[in-house]
Each structure stands twice: as C-alpha cells, then as structure tokens.
Homo-oligomer: A and B are copies of this chain.
Amino acid sequence: MPVSPLAPAKFPQLPTIGGVTFAAAAAGIKYKDRADVMLAVIAPGSSIAGVFTRSATRSAPVLDCQAKLGSDASKIAAFLVNSGNSNAFTGSRGSASVEAVCKAVAAETGAPVDRIFTASTGVIGEPLPHDRIIAKITELHENQSAGEIENAARAIMTTDTFAKGAAATVTVDGKEVKIAGIAKGSGMIAPDMATMLVYIFTDAQIGQADLQKLVSETNAKTFNCITVDSDTSTSDSLLMAATGASGVDVTGNADFATALHEVMQDLAHQVVRDGEGATKFVTVKVTGAQDDSDAHKVALSIANSPLVKTAIAGEDANWGRVVMAVGKSGAAADRDTLSIRFGDITVAENGWRAPDYSEEATSAYMKNSELEIGVDLGIGNGESTVWTCDLTHGYISINADYRS
C-alpha cells in the first residue's frame, strides 16, 4: 500500500525516556521480512495506567491487561506487543497463549507476571503462534535500547501505511519532564469505546491512581473522538508508563495534563490520517447542543455517515447529507435554529440554505485535504469535536480483500 497522502512528512524525533528501553524483532507471525513484535522494559517504581475497548468480544490480551492494572508499582514492568494476529476469539487457547508469553518474558526480564502487559493486533479467530514470539524474547531483551522506540512503532503496524509517534516536553518546577508515545491504527477505528494500540511513556513522577484518572479523562477527549469506519476493535488498548526518572512530581499539574493531551491528540489524529483509503482529514465541530453528550452524538452521526463521507471523497459540498445526519442522530435539534458551515463558509442557517451561499466558493473549499464541518444547533451550550476521514474506493479495496 502507498503511504497515506495525509501522513506527516516523517516520523518525529522522539526523546528518550529515562527508565524505558525498547527492541523490535521479526518473529514471522504472519508478515515476512519485517519486525512484528516489540518489547518495552520499564524500570521498577513506574506507574502504569491503561484504557481498553469495551467490546463484549474483547481479546485475551485485553482481558489479561485489565486484570493486571494496579499491580505492584515497585517492580519491573514490560509491554510485549505483536502484529499479524489479534489473539481475539481464540477461546481458552487465547489466555493460555498470553500466559505462556508472559511467563517467558518474566523469566527473561525478571519482571513479575502481573507487571507484564501484552497486546496482539491482526486477524481475529486464528490461534496465536506464541512459540514464535517466545523464541524471540531473549533477542528482544538483549537488544533493549532507549532509542529503539521508532522500530517498536513499526513492529506494531498492520494496515497502517506509516508509523505513528508524538512527543512533548514540559517544564514543571523548573525541571524538564518528557512524554513520548507511539500508536498503530488504520481500520476498525471507532471512538465509542477506546482506541487502537497506543503506548505512552514519561519520566514524570505520578501515582498509579492519579495517572489512571488523567489518562482516562484525556482519552475521552482524544482517542474517543476519532472514527474511521464506526467499527470498534476487539483489541483496542492504550497503556501509559510514568517512570519518575525525572524526579519531578506532576500530580495535579495542569501543564503536564496539557502536554499529555497534545501527545494523545496528535497520535489520535495520526490514526485518522492513516484511515484506510483516506484522502481527506475532517474535523467535525458541533456547538449549541442541549448538552455535550448530544453534541457528541451529532458529531459522531456526521463523522460515521457513509453518505457524508462519500460526498467528502467526491469533493461535493453536499450539506443536505449533513442535515440528514443531524436528523438521524437522536439528539435534540430544531431545523429552524440549525446552522451549518464548511470551513468559514456558512452554507445553511435558519432552516434554509444561507442567503449568500455560493456553490462555487464551497466547491473550491472542498478541494482542500483538511476540512472542517461546523454545525451549530442553536439550542444550548453543549459542544463536541470529532475527527474522521472520507470514505473512498481505497477503503473498499483494502477491506474486500484483506483478511484482518
């Protein structure tokens, strides 16, 4: 697959995070001649937090990670992730595979089993060939290096066309704190539950409970606000480790929260930019709703509408389909107070096409690769922003053939 036209120019320079090292390896799980497994080893005393898919058919590694959140932070920890097989809907063999992999990582790294968090992404319903992963654990441990995060990001890709990374540095009490994160995700992306695979590391010092609260709150405004195709993965996981290596306590610090928000939003946007077949990056901004929850419903209804998404692909200023998506959302709306804009162009207001609407100007705007659809419901103060992409022939080609 060619790289998405919406991809960033290059993988960003990510800072090393004290207390975290990485390595990637080619275990041959499904793909040939590429890294497909990564191991991150995290120093004792690190806080770990996570959010996961709420799918009723979530994978064995997801169930395992959820059970391990809150385990003893004084011990070494590790993240082990493979691509090519999701170990989802694999019955009791699924958890047996997770157990076998965790045992091997524990033996190699000295981390207790309940501090080892695994994830698997790829085909659903095939047994995970965990022996191939286990055969690589020693190599992965020996090759650990603080600078290998980019290769770790590459190892977890499936239909992704580029590796995703983001970073921030924030000064707290006169001292620098760093955040670095990686993510994978391209299809089966829907925001109602959680995310795709995301790993974020910081050298900040913060307790596990405080870190969990911050991650959950930020997730609600970032990864839970993106959608590619309304389909929610069985494997979605976000894990964050705070090593404390900087010696800076960030508990309750607003600047740190803002920096983390920026990193998570950046990664979330990169997932949308790599949406299967995407040619347009679309911001849907809803204001004036009865409450934030209604605004979110309307924003998602627009962002998930196949008719809105195909109109965007065709560079067609078809705002009638936005009206349709508002109408079907289930949120309170009043035709006569509703207004719609594409970028800065008001296309509809007062229950009617805007008086100075120009088809020509709006069509010209639709040729941009970054678009904003604004909807004001005019009945309250609720607001929500959601990010999505268009629906193209590329999405059909990828998904009518690829067994994911």
Contacts and interface: CB of A to CB of B under 8 A. Distances in A.
A8 interface: no
A352 interface: yes
A400 B324 contact: no
A56 B326 contact: yes
Interface in A92-130: 92-93, 123-126
A230 B229 CA distance: 12
Contacts of A352: 89-93
Contact of A328 (B91, B192, B334): B192
A92 B328 CA distance: 21
Contacts of A400: 310-311, 313-314, 316, 392
A338 to B, nearest CB: 7
A342 to B, nearest CB: 13
Nearest to A397: B393
A291 to B, nearest CB: 15
Interface string A358-393: 000000000000000000000000000000000111
Interface string A304-341: 11110011011010111101111111011111101000
A400 B393 CA distance: 10
Contacts of A306: 229-231, 306, 391, 395, 399
Given A316-B403, A353-B125, A188 B57 contact: no
- Determine the main DSSP class of A at the interface with B: loop
Contact of A56 (B305, B314, B335): B335
A233 interface: yes
Interface residues of A, number: 70
A190 interface: yes
A220 B311 CA distance: 30
Among A125, A233, A316, find the residue whose CB has the most chain B CB atoms closer than 10 A: A125
Contacts of A399: 306-307, 310-311, 314
A25 interface: no
- When all copies of this chain in the complex are counted, the total is 2
A181 interface: no
Contacts of A234: 323-324, 327
Contacts of A187: 307
A401 interface: yes
Contacts of A188: 307, 324
B124 A89 contact: no
A324 B40 CA distance: 28
Nearest to A324: B234
A156 B404 CA distance: 41
A295 interface: no
Contact of A324 (B124, B192, B305, B335): B124
A55 interface: yes
A220 B58 CA distance: 31
A320 B91 contact: no
B232 A327 contact: yes
A88 interface: yes
Given A92-B352, A187-B307, 16 more contacts: A56-B334, A86-B320, A89-B323, A90-B352, A91-B335, A91-B352, A123-B320, A125-B320, A229-B307, A230-B230, A306-B395, A311-B400, A314-B401, A321-B404, A391-B396, A393-B393
Interface of A: 53, 55-58, 86, 88-93, 123-126, 187-188, 190, 192-193, 229-234, 304-307, 310-311, 313-314, 316, 318-321, 323-329, 331-336, 338, 348, 350-353, 391-393, 395-397, 399-401, 403-404
Which 8 A-B pairs give the minimum distances between C-beta atoms? A124-B320, A314-B400, A57-B327, A91-B352, A55-B327, A310-B399, A232-B328, A56-B333
